[in-house]
A and B are shown apart, each in its own frame.
Chain A
Amino acid sequence: MQIEIEMITQPIQPRRELPAALAGLAGAVAEFTGIVRAEENGRPVAALEYEAYAPMAEREMRRIIEAVGREHPCLAVRVIHRVGVIPVGEAAIYVAAFAPHRAEAFAMLTKFMDRLKQDVPIWKVRAIEQP
Protein backbone atom coordinates (compact mmCIF):
# COMPACT_ATOMS: atom_id res chain seq x y z
CA MET A 1 0.00 0.00 0.00
CA GLN A 2 1.34 3.37 -0.99
CA ILE A 3 0.93 6.10 1.63
CA GLU A 4 1.31 9.83 0.99
CA ILE A 5 1.00 12.25 3.89
CA GLU A 6 1.42 16.00 3.65
CA MET A 7 1.05 18.69 6.28
CA ILE A 8 0.77 22.12 4.73
CA THR A 9 -0.14 25.67 5.66
CA GLN A 10 -1.58 26.66 2.28
CA PRO A 11 -5.11 25.87 1.01
CA ILE A 12 -5.57 22.20 0.17
CA GLN A 13 -5.80 21.27 -3.50
CA PRO A 14 -7.50 17.84 -3.63
CA ARG A 15 -5.55 15.34 -5.74
CA ARG A 16 -7.49 12.28 -6.78
CA GLU A 17 -5.04 10.96 -9.37
CA LEU A 18 -3.87 7.43 -8.68
CA PRO A 19 -0.11 7.06 -8.17
CA ALA A 20 1.30 6.12 -11.58
CA ALA A 21 2.64 2.74 -10.46
CA LEU A 22 -0.90 1.64 -9.57
CA ALA A 23 -2.56 2.64 -12.84
CA GLY A 24 -5.29 0.21 -13.87
CA LEU A 25 -5.52 -1.51 -10.48
CA ALA A 26 -8.02 0.72 -8.68
CA GLY A 27 -11.74 0.31 -9.18
CA ALA A 28 -12.63 2.87 -6.53
CA VAL A 29 -11.38 6.12 -5.12
CA ALA A 30 -13.20 7.42 -2.05
CA GLU A 31 -12.49 10.96 -0.94
CA PHE A 32 -13.24 12.85 2.26
CA THR A 33 -12.82 16.55 2.82
CA GLY A 34 -13.20 18.00 6.32
CA ILE A 35 -14.24 21.66 6.18
CA VAL A 36 -14.10 24.37 8.84
CA ARG A 37 -17.64 25.29 9.95
CA ALA A 38 -18.86 28.74 10.93
CA GLU A 39 -19.55 27.60 14.49
CA GLU A 40 -17.26 26.24 17.18
CA ASN A 41 -18.66 25.25 20.59
CA GLY A 42 -21.84 27.19 19.85
CA ARG A 43 -20.06 30.41 18.93
CA PRO A 44 -19.77 31.93 15.47
CA VAL A 45 -16.23 31.90 14.11
CA ALA A 46 -14.46 33.20 11.03
CA ALA A 47 -11.56 30.77 11.16
CA LEU A 48 -9.88 28.11 13.26
CA GLU A 49 -6.20 27.81 13.99
CA TYR A 50 -4.72 24.31 13.94
CA GLU A 51 -1.43 23.21 15.43
CA ALA A 52 0.35 19.89 15.00
CA TYR A 53 3.23 18.01 16.52
CA ALA A 54 4.16 17.34 12.92
CA PRO A 55 6.67 14.48 13.09
CA MET A 56 4.48 12.48 15.44
CA ALA A 57 1.29 13.38 13.57
CA GLU A 58 2.73 12.02 10.33
CA ARG A 59 3.97 8.91 12.05
CA GLU A 60 0.61 8.28 13.74
CA MET A 61 -1.31 8.79 10.51
CA ARG A 62 0.95 6.29 8.76
CA ARG A 63 0.56 3.81 11.62
CA ILE A 64 -3.24 4.12 11.52
CA ILE A 65 -3.39 3.71 7.74
CA GLU A 66 -1.20 0.61 7.92
CA ALA A 67 -3.35 -0.86 10.70
CA VAL A 68 -6.64 -0.17 8.92
CA GLY A 69 -5.09 -1.41 5.67
CA ARG A 70 -4.41 -4.81 7.19
CA GLU A 71 -8.15 -5.18 7.75
CA HIS A 72 -9.31 -3.32 4.63
CA PRO A 73 -6.55 -3.63 2.01
CA CYS A 74 -6.21 -0.54 -0.17
CA LEU A 75 -3.79 0.26 -2.97
CA ALA A 76 -2.95 3.76 -1.82
CA VAL A 77 -4.00 6.41 0.67
CA ARG A 78 -3.27 10.11 0.36
CA VAL A 79 -3.74 12.50 3.30
CA ILE A 80 -3.30 16.26 3.23
CA HIS A 81 -3.82 18.04 6.56
CA ARG A 82 -3.64 21.81 6.74
CA VAL A 83 -2.40 23.63 9.84
CA GLY A 84 -2.26 27.30 10.77
CA VAL A 85 -5.24 29.60 10.36
CA ILE A 86 -7.99 28.05 8.19
CA PRO A 87 -10.95 30.26 7.23
CA VAL A 88 -14.52 28.98 7.41
CA GLY A 89 -15.46 27.00 4.32
CA GLU A 90 -11.91 25.88 3.57
CA ALA A 91 -10.62 22.35 4.02
CA ALA A 92 -8.68 21.27 7.09
CA ILE A 93 -8.14 17.74 5.80
CA TYR A 94 -8.39 15.81 2.55
CA VAL A 95 -8.16 12.02 2.36
CA ALA A 96 -8.28 9.85 -0.74
CA ALA A 97 -8.36 6.06 -0.51
CA PHE A 98 -7.74 3.95 -3.62
CA ALA A 99 -8.81 0.31 -3.67
CA PRO A 100 -9.85 -2.41 -6.11
CA HIS A 101 -13.44 -2.14 -4.80
CA ARG A 102 -15.46 0.50 -2.98
CA ALA A 103 -15.95 -1.32 0.34
CA GLU A 104 -12.27 -1.15 1.29
CA ALA A 105 -11.98 2.48 0.22
CA PHE A 106 -15.04 3.56 2.23
CA ALA A 107 -13.90 1.58 5.29
CA MET A 108 -10.44 3.13 5.12
CA LEU A 109 -11.88 6.65 5.09
CA THR A 110 -14.24 6.07 7.99
CA LYS A 111 -11.84 4.20 10.24
CA PHE A 112 -8.91 6.45 9.47
CA MET A 113 -10.91 9.56 10.38
CA ASP A 114 -12.25 7.95 13.57
CA ARG A 115 -8.75 7.07 14.74
CA LEU A 116 -7.25 10.36 13.63
CA LYS A 117 -9.66 12.12 15.95
CA GLN A 118 -8.50 9.92 18.84
CA ASP A 119 -4.77 9.70 18.39
CA VAL A 120 -3.17 12.07 15.90
CA PRO A 121 -1.53 15.01 17.69
CA ILE A 122 -3.22 17.87 15.89
CA TRP A 123 -5.24 20.48 17.76
CA LYS A 124 -7.65 23.28 17.12
CA VAL A 125 -5.87 25.82 19.30
CA ARG A 126 -7.80 29.01 18.64
CA ALA A 127 -11.15 30.10 17.29
CA ILE A 128 -10.98 33.41 15.48
CA GLU A 129 -14.23 35.28 15.90
CA GLN A 130 -16.11 37.00 13.15
CA PRO A 131 -15.25 40.71 12.94
Chain B
Amino acid sequence: MRILFFGHLRDVTRCARMEVHFDESADADAVWRKLIESHPALARFHGCVRLARNCEYAGADARFADADEVALIPPVSGG
Protein backbone atom coordinates (compact mmCIF):
# COMPACT_ATOMS: atom_id res chain seq x y z
CA MET B 1 0.00 0.00 0.00
CA ARG B 2 1.38 3.37 -0.99
CA ILE B 3 0.90 6.11 1.60
CA LEU B 4 1.14 9.78 0.57
CA PHE B 5 1.86 12.71 2.90
CA PHE B 6 1.07 16.35 2.13
CA GLY B 7 1.54 19.74 3.70
CA HIS B 8 2.96 19.84 7.21
CA LEU B 9 2.58 16.07 7.53
CA ARG B 10 5.51 15.70 5.16
CA ASP B 11 7.61 17.71 7.60
CA VAL B 12 6.47 15.38 10.39
CA THR B 13 7.32 12.19 8.53
CA ARG B 14 10.23 13.70 6.54
CA CYS B 15 9.04 11.83 3.49
CA ALA B 16 6.40 12.33 0.80
CA ARG B 17 5.47 8.68 0.56
CA MET B 18 6.04 5.31 2.10
CA GLU B 19 5.05 1.73 1.39
CA VAL B 20 3.35 -0.47 3.94
CA HIS B 21 2.14 -4.01 3.57
CA PHE B 22 -1.03 -5.69 4.78
CA ASP B 23 -1.67 -9.39 4.35
CA GLU B 24 -5.42 -8.79 4.35
CA SER B 25 -7.64 -5.77 3.83
CA ALA B 26 -7.46 -3.36 6.74
CA ASP B 27 -9.78 -0.83 8.31
CA ALA B 28 -8.79 2.78 9.01
CA ASP B 29 -7.72 2.01 12.58
CA ALA B 30 -5.32 -0.66 11.36
CA VAL B 31 -3.85 1.74 8.79
CA TRP B 32 -3.36 4.38 11.45
CA ARG B 33 -1.74 1.89 13.82
CA LYS B 34 0.76 0.95 11.14
CA LEU B 35 1.48 4.59 10.33
CA ILE B 36 2.00 5.57 13.95
CA GLU B 37 4.26 2.57 14.42
CA SER B 38 6.52 3.97 11.68
CA HIS B 39 6.07 7.64 12.56
CA PRO B 40 4.96 8.09 16.20
CA ALA B 41 4.66 11.87 15.72
CA LEU B 42 1.64 11.25 13.49
CA ALA B 43 -0.42 10.19 16.52
CA ARG B 44 -1.41 13.73 17.43
CA PHE B 45 -2.87 14.31 13.94
CA HIS B 46 -5.13 11.27 14.03
CA GLY B 47 -8.17 13.36 15.00
CA CYS B 48 -7.89 16.05 12.33
CA VAL B 49 -6.52 14.18 9.31
CA ARG B 50 -8.80 12.35 6.88
CA LEU B 51 -7.80 9.29 4.89
CA ALA B 52 -8.38 9.11 1.15
CA ARG B 53 -8.33 5.83 -0.70
CA ASN B 54 -7.56 5.98 -4.43
CA CYS B 55 -8.40 9.69 -4.61
CA GLU B 56 -11.68 9.54 -2.67
CA TYR B 57 -12.34 10.28 0.98
CA ALA B 58 -12.69 7.00 2.82
CA GLY B 59 -15.89 6.45 4.79
CA ALA B 60 -15.90 5.12 8.34
CA ASP B 61 -16.43 1.56 7.13
CA ALA B 62 -13.84 1.66 4.33
CA ARG B 63 -11.50 -1.28 3.83
CA PHE B 64 -8.01 -0.66 2.54
CA ALA B 65 -6.25 -3.17 0.30
CA ASP B 66 -2.57 -3.64 -0.34
CA ALA B 67 -2.86 -2.26 -3.89
CA ASP B 68 -4.51 0.98 -2.74
CA GLU B 69 -3.01 4.44 -2.76
CA VAL B 70 -3.85 6.04 0.58
CA ALA B 71 -3.36 9.74 1.21
CA LEU B 72 -3.40 11.51 4.54
CA ILE B 73 -5.39 14.69 4.03
CA PRO B 74 -4.79 17.38 6.64
CA PRO B 75 -7.28 20.30 6.82
CA VAL B 76 -7.30 21.92 3.39
CA SER B 77 -6.67 25.57 2.55
CA GLY B 78 -7.03 26.01 -1.21
CA GLY B 79 -8.62 28.86 -3.09
Residues of A within 8 A of B (CB): 34, 50-53, 55-57, 59, 81, 92-93, 113, 116-125
Sorted nearest first, the 4 A-B pairs with minimum C-beta distance are A122-B78, A56-B55, A123-B7, A124-B77
Nearest chain B residue, comparing its CB with the CB of A61: B78
B52 within 8 A of A: yes
B28 to chain A, nearest CB (A): 17
Q: Is the CB of A117 within 8 A of B79?
A: yes
Q: Is the CB of B56 within 8 A of A59?
A: yes
Question: What number of B residues sit within 8 Å (CB to CB) of A?
Answer: 15
B57 to chain A, nearest CB (A): 7
* Alpha-carbon gap, A120 to B76, bound state (A): 7
Nearest chain B residue, comparing its CB with the CB of A118: B76
